[in-house]
Structure 1
Amino acid sequence: MSALTGTTRLARLVLRRDRIRLAIWILGTPLLGYALAGSVASIYPGQEARLGYATTSASSLVARAFNGPIHGTDLGAVVVAETYVTLALIVALLSTFAVTRHTRQNEETGRAELLGANVVGRYAPLTAALLVIVAANTLAAVLLAVALAGAGLPLAGSVAAAAAIGGVGVAFTAIAAVTAQLSVTARGANALAAATVGLAFVLRAAGDVLGEQSADGTRVRSAWPSWISPLGWGNQVRAFDGERWWVLALPVALLLVGVALAYALAERRDQGAGLIAPRRGPATAAPRLLSPAGLAWRMQRGTLLGWAVGVAVLGFSMGIAGDEFNDMIDANPAAAEAINAMGGGADLINAYLAAMLGLFALTIGAYVVQALLRVRGDEADGVLEAALATAVSRTRWLGTQVLAATLGAVALLLVAGVTTGLGYGIVTGDPLGQAVELGGAALLRLPALLVIAGVVTAIFGLLPRWSVVLSWTALLVFLLLGQLGAVLELPQAALNVSPYTHVPAVPAVDPAALPLVVLAAVAAALLAVGVAAFRHRDVPS
């Protein structure tokens, strides 16, 4: 028996387990790319508008940090500048989570030990996962290239841009293969991989901020930190601006090195163990862990802290960028129309701030989904059955989880609003006033997040096996309709599906109580349906 015996059958098992996730990933990436490319093309239709965008982006340190470098005034270059970071982060996280799910999670749950009792080689489980995930990245990149070309962009640049996105997924597939050998838990492996994604983002941002602007002001040459970041490599391909195809060899080289290192580490550890020893906990548990509320806080506090730090950094940066927004608007009226469509209102600065708060609300919706889907993980792992064997009722247990996710959303909304207000207030001379005003405006997005919590709870109660896929799909639909629907000029009936559509775009418009009350009522109804369904269905053992 070789070390790769059984790889083909295990790859089929990976495909069987992730057939829905992979389908959403492979089809959703090109569809999102096509929608974003179309919206960017409508915002910057002419050469003059794109010239204004390119010069503003090249001279703005904030734009360089969050969007990456601009490579000319071609429409494709503008599309890449606006969409690359978003798509790259999505495929990076999807790739790392998928590797962990089919390697470290299998060991943590005992599935790997059962598989290893058969005729399965030492490297077969890892190799099967890597083959499927690399193939998924490749197929998604091919379809993304077709989508970008279908949006009217040149074929060569479309292929280069799609290959750069796919290369990011391949690179972080290799990184996740290594982190899966280090940590003893799936959560720890995911945390290490996510930290690597964050480090790569910081290195890329630093390289782009320290880069040099071209003489004509429409291009940026990144500094050396971008070259040590897998996220930075995609920008260095320079799609739609004299493509540098050789850069695509870097993620392939990292894949080969990462796989070799993962194999070597796998030889030096026991099944189910990690190379990083787990930290010992206290000898006795804290009294608060005896209650569902204390346990929910213990399980969520690390995740909530990480989200809070990320939201604070982005909020402060977006607030400071508000001062540069006037310059961008002066150079590009089409961008003003897009911001007005997203934020509403006649005052463009307030429309910009409202649009940023709306984007934060969408992002925090992902936290709500992540926090509430933990209940499905507890049920699948048998933790829920043990908890319900005590004096804890089903209603109390599920209600506590919903309350914890809601309080976390409130905290993140406040962080987003206050830090955005502080950043904008510093450049306008009123940090305290802006922090209070935007903090209150951010809290008005809470009813939309309550609806998301209600949707996830209802799905968990009615269709527990499909709760993960359906919950994330619902959030994606709300995102596309709530933020991009207005830019894409979708019919109002479609926009009304998203709860974000009904939230007043404060501070661009005056707050209205009726939509918020209706959203709260809808959320309450969905939560009641979810709790009732959960009370009357079986909990698998």
Structure 2
Amino acid sequence: MTAVADTRVSPRTRGSAKDLAGTGTLLRLALRRDRIMMPVWVVCLGLTASSTTGRLKSAYDTPKARADLVVDMNGNGSTRALFGAAFDDSLGALTVWRVGGFLTVFAAIMSLLIVIRHTREEEETGRQEALSACMVGRRAGLTSALLAVGIANAAVTVLIAGSLAGQGGTGALALGLSVGLTGMAFGGLAAVAAQLTENARLARGLTSAAVGIAFVLRMAGDAAEDGSQGSGHLLVWLSPLGWAEYARPFADERWWPLLLIAVLAAASTALAYSLVGRRDVGASFYATRPGARAAGAGLKGVYGLGWRLHRGALLGWSAGFVFTGAIFGAISNGADEFLGDSDQTREIIQRMGGAQGLTDAFLASMVGILGTTLTVYTASAVLRLRSEETDQRAEPLLANAVSRLRWGGSHLVFAYLGPVVVLAVGGLALGVGYGVAADDMGGIPRAVGAALAQAPALWVVTSAAVFLVGVVPKYTAAAWAVVGWVVTLSWLGPALKMPQSVMDTSPFTHLPKLPGDDVTAAPFLWSLLISVVLTAGGLVGLRRRDIGG
């Protein structure tokens, strides 16, 4: 009998070179596909720190002004929650205080998007299976994705360290490493999520939720205790973003918290490598459960199907906004207790939340953060249209008595009305959190109204995504560029004192800063008009173009 060679990969050879075959080719492909997105992320993150230093130097040009600023900031839980603790009054330390926390968050978001794009999304579209039929190893896709994200974070680290070297080489290196390692840690967590889930949307959602939880833990811990002295608060230590903060760049650096981040990155990466070798390409550890043999009453229509597809994201975002809104509301109480006489602090808060009293300004800044963050949900809801199309799940529907507009409407109803629900519950939680802390529940309607007032600006971003899907479907990834720009302007624009002409490119800039600001109908009407025009153009394009084109 002729012997037949056993071609199965044994456990002993899973880590061999065969598993990594084709990694270099896939890495070059990933870098080519991200040749625009990745450099934009790197440059924006890398130059934010240096531009902040220049603006702080001009705004607080004396040692006394900087020392007073640190005392003011560390004396108030509301501003500690937003920016973190200030550990020193040098320009480098103040730069870390102002934008360091935001840089780590954006590095985490950049990393999770890159990893999911080149792992689970490749499997979901079937491209990874086609590549696996060639000389491509089992772990080559994961390795190339992690190498790509490693290159991006290394570039961010070098750019931050180089741009701030004039303020102190050791502190600049510590800040660069804290940002880069945080990005790698969440990139590793995204790689794990890509193994556990069956679709890229859920993997992005889980990893984004991890970033959100880490951010809220850091905020709650800093609000509860001034971490500039002593060992810090337990909640901050539970967050990888807190580890980056407690590395204390430019303030007697601590290197061992960075080791914690590196251990998390290595452990999550190792877990992802272990999991990828234990499943089939395209499969996951938690696959979608098979449905019933017959559709229920709720699934006997295109809108019922839309609810089934979007309900998980809607419920998840609602739950997250309830938790986050309650935290934001609680820390908003007493925002003016210590800062009423501080012109510097008043300027910072009012630049984000308006010229009204500090409490209302802080609440308005929190509402703005909630509103701009929700653009991620609206964009993903609209882009679900495109994914249904490219995954060839739309054609069977359209082959029946379902028009394109009905099919599109079954998704867009959740893209437009879903944020209203999330804003309402988030505003309610914000009002309740503030009311419990202040022992006054009378402000709940104002908080809910302020949150709902963000909807027209959200709809502009939603409509921009609809226009891209309908008219230029091959460039729908630009919707994420719009989301990133809007979020960056909201979170970093006021801190960096960006020109008003730049800030005006965000639809959120034109809305009144509520609660507390004067309300006029014009900005709402203009936002609605722009939204209607973009949506109409997108739907016309959807009706006329080829499906799957």
* TM-score, structure 2 normalization: 0.87
SS in 1 for 2:385: helix
- 2:246·2:257 contact (CA, 8 Å) conserved in 1? yes
- 1:212·1:221 contact (CA, 8 Å) conserved in 2? no
For the aligned residue pairs, the C-alpha RMSD in angstroms reads 3.0
2:313 aligns with one of 303, 315, 320: 303
Counterpart-to-counterpart distance in 2, 1:274 and 1:346: 51
Counterpart-to-counterpart distance in 2, 1:342 and 1:224: 28
| Mapping of residues 91-110 of structure 1, within 5 Å | 91-110=107-126
Q: Does 1:529 align with 2:545?
A: no
Distance 1:340 1:186, change over 3 A: closer
What does residue 505 of structure 1 align with? 513
Q: Does 1:463 align with 2:456?
A: no
1:292 aligns with one of 302, 311, 315: 302
Q: Deviations over 1:339-389 (max 9, x none)?
A: 223333343333332332222222222322222122222222222223222
Counterpart-to-counterpart distance in 1, 2:515 and 2:225: 35
1:441 aligns with one of 450, 469, 494: 450
Q: Deviations over 1:410-450 (max 9, x none)?
A: 1122223222222233344431x211122123222222122
Q: Deviations over 1:260-306 (max 9, x none)?
A: 43333333333333334544433433322233322222222221222
| Mapping of residues 68-107 of structure 1, within 5 Å | 68-107=84-123
Instruction: Kindly state the Cα deviation for residue 206 of structure 1 after the two structures are TM-superposed.
Output: 7.1
Counterpart-to-counterpart distance in 2, 1:141 and 1:221: 26
Q: Deviations over 1:225-251 (max 9, x none)?
A: 655643333123210112234543444
Structure 1 window deviating more from structure 2 (378-387 vs 191-200): it is 191-200
What does residue 359 of structure 1 align with? 369
* TM-score, structure 1 normalization: 0.88
What does residue 163 of structure 1 align with? 177
| Equivalent residue pairs, number | 533
Distance 1:461 1:436, change over 3 A: same
Q: Deviations over 1:47-103 (max 9, x none)?
A: 445445544554555655554444233333233233233222222233233223322
Distance 1:76 1:441, change over 3 A: same
What does residue 425 of structure 1 align with? 435
- 1:69·1:222 contact (CA, 8 Å) conserved in 2? no
Counterpart-to-counterpart distance in 2, 1:81 and 1:444: 30
Counterpart-to-counterpart distance in 1, 2:430 and 2:269: 42
Instruction: Kindly state the Cα deviation for residue 35 of structure 1 after the two structures are TM-superposed.
Output: 5.1
Distance 1:406 1:48, change over 3 A: farther
Instruction: Kindly state the Cα deviation for residue 331 of structure 1 after the two structures are TM-superposed.
Output: 5.8
Counterpart-to-counterpart distance in 1, 2:325 and 2:510: 23
Counterpart-to-counterpart distance in 1, 2:234 and 2:187: 23
Counterpart-to-counterpart distance in 2, 1:502 and 1:259: 43
2:400 aligns with one of 390, 393, 396: 390
| Mapping of residues 168-183 of structure 1, within 5 Å | 168-183=182-197
2:38 aligns with one of 12, 15, 22: 22
- 1:141·1:165 contact (CA, 8 Å) conserved in 2? yes
Which amino acid in the other structure matches residue 388 of structure 2? D
* Identical positions, percent: 38
Unaligned runs of 5+ in 2: 1-16
Which contiguous aligned blocks of 4+ residues in structure 1 show a shift greater than 6 angstroms?
209-212
Counterpart-to-counterpart distance in 2, 1:334 and 1:122: 56
What does residue 450 of structure 1 align with? 459
Counterpart-to-counterpart distance in 2, 1:183 and 1:301: 17
Counterpart-to-counterpart distance in 2, 1:518 and 1:390: 38
1:336 aligns with one of 346, 365, 386: 346
Unaligned runs of 5+ in 1: none
Q: Does 1:321 align with 2:314?
A: no
1:115 aligns with one of 128, 131, 147: 131
Instruction: Kindly state the Cα deviation for residue 307 of structure 1 after the two structures are TM-superposed.
Output: 1.7
